Amino acid sequence: MIFERSTDPESRRDRRNKAVVVLAAACGFLMATDIAFASNWTIGLNSGSSGEAQSGNVANLTIAAVASPSPTNLLYPGNSGDVVLTISNPNNYPVTVSALQFPSNLTGAAGYSSSSLSALSAEVLCNAALSGVTWTYSTVTSGASHTLATPLVIGASGDSNNPLTVTLTNYAAMSSSSPAACENSFFSMPSLASVTASAGGSTVTTSPTVDS
């Protein structure tokens, strides 16, 4: 390599710096040669090598009474009526509900006045023991299951369709012996025994929806 001749001290420092650069470049070349040689060796993998994944928590769904929309089919003695409810999914993934399990029909629904519907707190004379209002699919033994006409996919927490509002067509039944005190009442249905649900779902069900 040719350097420009100079007697200036600054130029001599420049030459020293250039020499350092050349030396560093030479070392770099030698190191690169070593790496190229090593890359021809076969490198394997220790047995048992792995990566880590983690599963999330699973939280239960919440089913609750809701005042709106109003049931289309109303109860009267000896007939069936609609039940309106919401299903809330606290998980960060969709959940598909395919069936409902019901409590024993030995437990009736308590009747409330229309003015207390939002809180369902002021029980009227049509109490649970006398109302004769039960789930249509209940039996004497708790746990009777009914498959929904179409599975319900409740969106993940934060989804606009969570909670999902559902009208269950004719899911409530009123006994023919239901007393007059149960006229013009709203009923808090006995808590469901369980649901059949699984994680995931391709298309989230739009709220409100109807299962008939």
Bond into 69 cis (ω within 30)? yes
Distances (CA, A) of 168 to 64, 68, 99, 128, 129: 13, 13, 12, 21, 23
Question: What is the average per-residue pLDDT within 173-193?
Answer: 91
Max avg pLDDT among 31-45, 123-137, 161-175: 161-175
pLDDT in tens, 86-95: 999 999 999 9
Question: What is the average per-residue pLDDT within 160-182?
Answer: 94
Distance CA 158, CA 91 (A): 9
Distance CA 152, CA 24 (A): 69
pLDDT tier at 126, thresholds 50, 70, 90: confident
pTM equals 0.73
Number of Cβ within a 10 Å radius of residue 175: 17
Question: What is the average per-residue pLDDT within 124-143?
Answer: 91
Residues 106, 55 contacting (CB under 8 angstroms): no
